Amino acid sequence: MTAVFKRDLKSYFSSMIGCLYIAFIISLVGIYFSFYNMKGGYPYFGDVLNSISYIVFLALPILTMRSFSDEIRTKTDQILYTSRVSIGKIVMGKYLSMVTVFAFPILVLCLCPLVISKFGNHDFKGDYACILAVFLIGCAYIAMGMFISSLTESPIIAAVITFAILLVLQMMTGITSFIPASEFGSFIGCILIVIAAALIYFSLAKNGVAAAVLCVAGISVLVILYFVKGSVYSNLLPSILNKIPLTVSLNNFSLKTFDVTAIIYYISVGCLFVFLTSQSIQKRRYS
């Protein structure tokens, strides 16, 4: 794992991708920090970071697009698959290398509250809680991008798909306003989600029987629930979709509320996609 970590971390800086990403994030945050916190005298850095966090996250596909797709394209993935290092350690080595690059600008951002404290009022607890939340959300999105990269041999396609998914997540609150809140509308939406989950499972496991059983069982439960207690579906789908984006709870941190549930959610999403990446690579290894 250490060898994979060092190799990938070195590649990010030898190809200038890591340097450009770090410079972009620091420059972006620096402009807002100078304008709002320094020139404007606004004492809360967490609020400023929250307002521009979507740009920070939408730039993450630059880091994740080559993680596995470039290995697949150049056929160097065969060397990794036949090495003595386990797939889990390979995935973790690549993941930690991307997290390390992402952590560089985050560490620089930790200096901003200290600078503010030299000139007046400050809120270390709220600012650093918001920085921690941004870091954990970024780690979860990196895991998501790494998983998408493991599904294609084109870094460009991986970047575009990751960017599109992150963009949809950022716009989810607005999108859900167009989704019907009626019982029947939520019922149909839940069925589509179950079908999508079964298709994803089939694409990963290539087990048609298990995917079909999962789909039929899920739909059966939804149908029974609809006829037994249909009121459960009232406004259910918009409520579920509104809770999916990780950045929704980011507002809690900028409002000086440390949301432990959100922290667990961020870590869980990251662990889930790291696991899915391992399964995707494992499937490719034996196919």
- The tokens for 62 are 């630059």
Report which of 163, 108, 161 is spatially closest to residue 134, judged by C-alpha positions: 108
Q: What's the CA gap between 124 and 114, in Å, rounded?
A: 8
Q: What's the CA gap between 165 and 173, in Å, rounded?
A: 14
Can you give the pLDDT at residue 104?
92
Can you give the pLDDT at residue 286?
61
How far CA 220 is from CA of 5, 57, 131, 207, 208, in Å, comes to 45, 38, 43, 20, 18
Can you give the pLDDT at residue 170?
82
Cα radius of gyration (the chain): 21
Contact 217, 17 (CB under 8 A): no
Q: What's the CA gap between 180 and 247, in Å, rounded?
A: 23
Which residues of the chain fall below pLDDT 50?
Answer: none
What sign for the dihedral angle of Cα 196, 192, 166, 46?
negative
Enumerate residues 6+ apart whose C-beta is below 8 A from 40.
none
Can you give the pLDDT at residue 95?
93
Contact 112, 131 (CB under 8 A): no
Contact 99, 142 (CB under 8 A): yes
Q: What's the CA gap between 188 and 50, in Å, rounded?
A: 34
